[in-house]
C-alpha cells in the first residue's frame, strides 16, 4: 500500500509531528511518501528531514500562496509514484489534495487538525473553501469529538465521516521523562507553554495572568516555546509588562522535550483547539496542567482529576489554579501522574496508526 501524506507546511508544529508519529507506526507493508509545497520561507523544513528516515519525500514548487497549478503537479506526482491513497492535512492541502486525487483517480482521506477562528476576511474565506473541499474527499477523519461536530456543520456525515482518536508517539517523551530529577528547594518555578503563536492560542492571556502573579511573588518565570505569526506582537507586548525580565520567548527548539521536562506548570489559554499535541506531551511528561475549559482540551484534562480547568476567559480563576498547582506540590503531582496514565492508556500513536491502516485498507477496497 503506497500512502502519500500531503501538507502545505510552514514550520514544525503539531500537524507535522502528528504525520511523523502516524508514519512511524504504520505496518511494514505500507510504503510512505510525503509531499510538501515549497513557498518562501519553507525551503528547509524539519518535517522533510525527519520523514526521510521513514519514507520517500517530494516537493511541489508554488508560484504564489494559492497556486492552483499545484493540482496538476500533484496529480502527476501521484501517477509517477504509483500512489494508492492521499492523506491531506490543512485547508490548502485539502483543497489541492482532493482535486489532485480526482485527477489521478485515487481516494483522498482528509484529517482536520483544528479550525482557526481568524478575523481576517481573506483567511476566513480560504478556510471556508478548505472546509467545503472536504465534501469531495472519500473519508473525513477529525482528531477529536468536537471536530467531529464542527465538520458535521459542513454537511459531512457517515459513512464519509469517521472518527479515529488522536495519538502521539510517547516513547520519545517517556525517554526524557525518565531523566527528570527533583528540583532543589527554593528554585525558581517555571511556568511554560509550547505551541504555535497564533490568535486562537490566546497567549496574551498567559502573559497577563503571569504579570499579575509576578506582581506579588518573584519566585516564578515564564518560558514560551514556539513560533508563529503572533510572536512579534506578543514579544512587543511583553516588553511593556513589569514582569518582562522574567519572560523568555525561546522560539522553535529541537530540544523542546528537554525544556518541557523542567516545567513546574504547563499552561494553555486557547479559545479553540482540536486535541493539542503539546498538551498530550505535557501530560505524558507528568507536568501539572492548568488550562481554559474548552472542547478538545476537555478530552485530555478532567477538572480535579488530571489537571485544573478554568472557565473560558476567567483569568481570576486561572490565576488561582496556577497558585494551587505551584504551591501544593503533592496535589499537583497527583494530578500530573493521573494525566500521564490517562494519555498512555488512550492516546498512543501505535493504536492510532493501526486504526488508520484499517481505514485506508477499507477505503481502497470500497
The CATH number of whichever domain residue 200 belongs to comes to: 3.40.50.2000
pLDDT number for residue 313: 96
Kindly state whether residues 17 and 138 are assigned to the same domain.
Answer: yes
Q: Is the pTM of this model over 0.85?
A: no
Total tally of structural domains belonging to the chain: 2
Kindly state whether residues 241 and 326 are assigned to the same domain.
Answer: yes
Domain residues for the domain of 58 are 2-167+348-364
Kindly state whether residues 226 and 140 are assigned to the same domain.
Answer: no
Q: Which residues contact 264 (CB under 8 A, 6 or more apart)?
A: 183, 189, 190, 191, 287, 288, 326
For residue 118, is pLDDT > 60?
no
Kindly state whether residues 193 and 328 are assigned to the same domain.
Answer: yes
Kindly state whether residues 284 and 358 are assigned to the same domain.
Answer: no
Mean pLDDT of 289-303: 95
Kindly state whether residues 48 and 121 are assigned to the same domain.
Answer: yes
Kindly state whether residues 161 and 222 are assigned to the same domain.
Answer: no
Q: Please compute, for residue 27, the number of CA atoms within 13 A of its CA located in the half-sphere on the CB side.
A: 10
pLDDT number for residue 274: 80
- Residue 165: pLDDT band by 50, 70, 90 thresholds? confident
Kindly state whether residues 156 and 11 are assigned to the same domain.
Answer: yes
Kindly state whether residues 19 and 154 are assigned to the same domain.
Answer: yes
- Residue 41: pLDDT band by 50, 70, 90 thresholds? low
The residue to which cell 465534501 is assigned: 135
pLDDT number for residue 154: 85
As a three-state string, the secondary structure of 110-166 is ECCCCCCCCCCHHHHHHHHHHHHHHHHCCEECCCCHHHHHHHHCCCCCCCCECCCCC
C-alpha cell of 71? 493540482
Kindly state whether residues 114 and 95 are assigned to the same domain.
Answer: yes
Q: How many helices and strands in the chain, by DSSP H and E?
A: 14, 12
Average pLDDT, the chain: 92
Kindly state whether residues 180 and 321 are assigned to the same domain.
Answer: yes
- Residue 99: pLDDT band by 50, 70, 90 thresholds? very high
| pLDDT tens-digit readout, 309-362 | 999 999 999 999 999 999 999 999 999 999 999 998 888 888 899 999 999 999
- Residue 190: pLDDT band by 50, 70, 90 thresholds? very high
Higher pLDDT, 257 or 14: 257
DSSP conformational letter for 348: B
Kindly state whether residues 66 and 92 are assigned to the same domain.
Answer: yes
Amino acid at each position: 500500500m503506497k500512502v502519500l501524506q500531503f501538507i502545505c507546511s510552514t514550520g514544525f508544529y503539531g500537524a507535522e509531528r502528528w504525520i511523523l508519529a502516524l508514519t512511524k507506526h504504520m505496518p511494514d507493508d505500507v510504503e510512505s511518501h510525503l509531499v510538501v509545497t515549497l513557498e518562501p520561507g519553507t525551503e528547509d523544513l524539519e518535517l522533510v528531514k525527519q520523514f526521510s528516515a521513514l519514507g520517500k519525500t517530494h516537493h511541489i514548487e508554488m508560484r504564489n500562496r494559492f497556486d492552483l497549478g499545484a493540482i496538476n503537479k500533484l496529480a502527476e506526482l501521484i501517477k509517477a509514484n504509483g500512489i494508492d491513497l492521499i492523506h491531506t492535512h490543512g485547508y490548502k492541502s485539502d483543497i489541492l489534495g482532493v482535486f489532485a486525487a480526482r485527477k489521478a483517480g485515487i481516494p483522498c482521506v482528509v484529517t482536520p487538525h483544528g479550525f482557526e477562528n481568524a478575523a481576517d476576511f481573506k483567511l476566513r474565506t480560504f478556510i471556508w473553501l478548505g472546509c467545503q473541499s472536504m465534501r469531495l474527499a472519500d473519508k473525513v477523519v477529525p482528531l477529536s469529538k468536537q471536530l467531529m461536530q464542527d465538520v458535521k456543520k459542513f454537511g459531512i456525515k457517515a459513512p464519509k465521516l469517521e472518527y479515529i482518536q488522536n495519538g502521539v508517539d510517547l516513547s520519545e517523551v517517556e525517554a526524557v521523562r525518565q531523566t527528570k530529577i527533583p528540583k532543589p528547594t527554593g528554585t525558581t518555578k517555571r511556568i511554560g507553554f509550547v505551541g504555535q503563536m497564533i490568535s486562537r492560542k490566546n497567549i496574551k492571556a498567559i502573559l497577563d495572568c503571569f504579570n499579575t502573579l509576578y506582581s506579588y511573588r518573584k519566585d516564578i518565570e515564564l518560558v514560551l516555546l514556539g513560533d508563529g505569526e503572533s510572536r512579534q506582537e506578543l514579544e512587543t507586548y511583553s516588553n511593556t509588562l513589569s514582569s518582562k525580565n522574567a519572560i523568555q520567548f525561546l522560539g522553535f527548539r529541537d530540544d523542546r522535550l528537554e525544556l518541557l521536562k523542567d516545567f513546574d506548570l504547563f499552561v494553555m489559554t486557547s479559545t479553540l483547539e482540536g486535541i493539542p499535541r503539546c498538551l498530550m506531551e505535557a501530560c505524558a511528561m507528568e507536568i501539572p496542567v492548568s488550562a481554559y475549559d474548552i472542547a478538545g482540551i476537555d478530552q485530555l484534562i478532567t477538572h480535579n482529576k488530571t489537571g485544573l480547568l478554568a472557565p473560558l476567559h476567567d483569568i481570576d480563576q486561572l490565576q488561582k489554579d496556577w497558585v494551587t498547582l505551584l504551591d501544593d506540590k503533592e496535589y499537583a503531582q497527583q494530578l500530573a501522574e493521573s494525566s500521564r496514565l490517562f494519555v498512555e492508556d488512550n492516546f498512543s500513536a501505535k493504536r492510532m496508526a493501526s486504526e488508520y491502516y484499517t481505514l485506508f485498507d477499507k477505503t481502497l477496497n470500497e
